Structure 1
Amino acid sequence: MDAPLKWLNWAKQMQGIAQTGLAYTKDVYDKERYEQLRALSLEIMEQYTDVESGKLASLFAGEYGYATPKVDIRGVVVKDGRMLMVREKEEGEWSLPGGWADLLLSPSEIVVKEVREESGYEVKALRLLAVMDNHKHNPPAPYHAYKMFVHCEITGGTAQEGVETSGVQFFGEYELPQLSRNRNTEEQVRLMFELLRSPEQIPVMD
């Protein structure tokens, strides 16, 4: 592991220990110690990242119960050999449409919802292409997440920007725009093209 990233993993581990401890401890003194540990992990993240404090607290130290990775679901939609992407308003870079999993919705329901809200297209979820660990593939982030990539087929709708997006466009495999690498890397997008060429391929999983 690269030395500059050790602090990030230590902070994540501290946060996970604190979150799980708070979920199960019955002792008031232990609870106080876990709260202190969580606060310390958040202080480390605030010191070494440029993520806004309120957002960092929500993403990194705002959950309760047993500590588990978050789930990010991305729609892989292709038309005439080109892949659907949306421009994120937050940083002006491009990504596969998608977002965090919502409670009470299945992965298929989430990807259909996200593609519609971010691109204007109605789709049907066809099959799971990959489940990838952002810790292994994407730039360092304050949260640990599993990314699910789902192949979808367009059934209706037209290109339309959403609340969080400022552009909707299809791109060829060798003409990719500037990507939002926290959401999807060039290697991940190229892998999606490769998997679509091999429908017999079982889903890729870390």
Structure 2
Amino acid sequence: MKVDVNESIKSNTEKEVKEEAGLDVIADRVIAIQDRNKHNVPIYAYGICKVFVLCKLVGGSFAKNSETLESGYFSLDELPKLAEEKNTREQIAMCFRAAMDPQWKVLFD
């Protein structure tokens, strides 16, 4: 997701989760800030800074839309095939670890 003009990372995250997943969340804390080209392939000719945000679910329900056809919850061992140019198994594992660790320290490149 790209951050829209006049949005913060927090407000944009909450807005995009609602638009794409139908869920109401509170963006609670930053997990990591990563240089996309250091963690994902293929390498892009331009730079992208990826911010991983831990969110608290407060309501809503999934509704199929133009960007998301279906939704589900998966354990780390049962992940579906990933679009690794967007998110890798290692990045998702990092998010699982952060969610379980109240003392998590933000990782950044």
Paired letter, 1:158 = S
Aligned equivalents of 2:45 and 2:59: distance in 1? 37
Q: How far is 1:142 from its partner?
A: 3.6
Q: List per-residue Cα deviations over 1:19-54 (Å, max 9, x = no partner).
A: xxxxxxxxxxxxxxxxxxxxxxxxxxxxxxxxxxxx
1:128 maps onto 2:30 in alignment = yes
Aligned equivalents of 2:2 and 2:80: distance in 1? 23
Q: How far is 1:166 from its partner?
A: 1.2
1:192 maps onto 2:99 in alignment = no
Q: How far is 1:141 from its partner?
A: 2.4
Q: How far is 1:124 from its partner?
A: 0.7
The match for 1:166 is: 69
Three-state SS of the structure 2 residue aligned to 1:153 is strand
Report matched runs for 1:75-86 at 5 Å.
Answer: none
Q: How many residues align?
A: 108
Aligned equivalents of 1:129 and 1:192: distance in 2? 7
1:120·1:158 contact (CA, 8 Å) conserved in 2?
A: yes
Unpaired runs of 5+ residues, structure 2, are none
Q: How far is 1:201 from its partner?
A: 1.6
Paired letter, 1:167 = E
1:138 maps onto 2:29 in alignment = no
Unpaired runs of 5+ residues, structure 1, are 1-98
Identity %: 34
1:155 maps onto 2:77 in alignment = no
Three-state SS of the structure 1 residue aligned to 2:66 is coil
Q: How far is 1:125 from its partner?
A: 0.9
Relative contact order, higher structure (CA 8 A, sep 6+):
2
Q: List per-residue Cα deviations over 1:45-97 (Å, max 9, x = no partner).
A: xxxxxxxxxxxxxxxxxxxxxxxxxxxxxxxxxxxxxxxxxxxxxxxxxxxxx
1:120·1:162 contact (CA, 8 Å) conserved in 2?
A: no
Report matched runs for 1:87-126 at 5 Å.
Answer: 99-126=1-28
The structure with the largest helix share of the pair is: 1
Three-state SS of the structure 2 residue aligned to 1:170 is coil
Give the number of the structure whose alpha-carbon radius of gyration is greater: 1
- The TM-score with structure 1 as length reference comes to 0.51
